[in-house]
Structure 1
Amino acid sequence: MGISIWQLLIVLGIVILLFGTKKLRNIGSDLGGAIRGFKKSMNDEDNKPAEPDRDSLQEKTDAQSQQAETEEKPRDKSHS
């Protein structure tokens, strides 16, 4: 009850007649580019560290709090 080679060839012929070879080529190249992009992004994710170090997170938080303290300026009471 499987699909024979002749049935696949008939379906392929109908698809080529409906879409044309140029359109199928464009679809194939677009699909290939999408798959390559997906694989590249998956590899990029694998190369990144899973979780940042706690020490680096603490240093970043400390630096942000120090920056916030230096940005706060005392209000000039003469303009009140």
Structure 2
Amino acid sequence: MGGISIWQLLIVALIVVLVFGTKRLRNVGGDLGSAVKGFKNAMNSEDEKAKDADFGESSDQKAIDEKTTAHTATSAEETKNKEQA
């Protein structure tokens, strides 16, 4: 007693579909899904920022690392081109 049975849930779902329509419910579901996805992305980016702060790696160090990687790749391409010539 006092619990909601499966039949009561089905009747409520049927009434909701009749009132709002399937197209509107589909749009609401899509909006809700994209909101949850955006929330997860924001949480992941916050976690990455926290990890970077924990390691003490500054944005200057990241820029230096990126330049070093780009320079190494360019040097490798130049060496490959010289070998082919």
- Structure 2 length normalisation: TM-score? 0.58
What number of residue pairs does the alignment pair up? 54
Deviation by residue 1:19-59 (Cα, 9 ceiling, x = unmatched): 00000000000000000000110010000036585xx6xxx
**Quick one: distance in 2 between partners of 1:12 and 1:24?**
11
- Where does structure 2 lack aligned partners over 5 or more consecutive residues? 59-85
Q: Whose Rg is larger?
A: 1
What is the aligned-residue RMSD (CA, Å)? 1.7
- Where does structure 1 lack aligned partners over 5 or more consecutive residues? 57-80
Specify the alignment match of 2:77 in structure 1: none
**Quick one: distance in 2 between partners of 1:49 and 1:19?**
43
Indicate the structure with greater helix content. 2
Specify the alignment match of 1:34 in structure 2: 35
Aligned sequence identity (%):
63
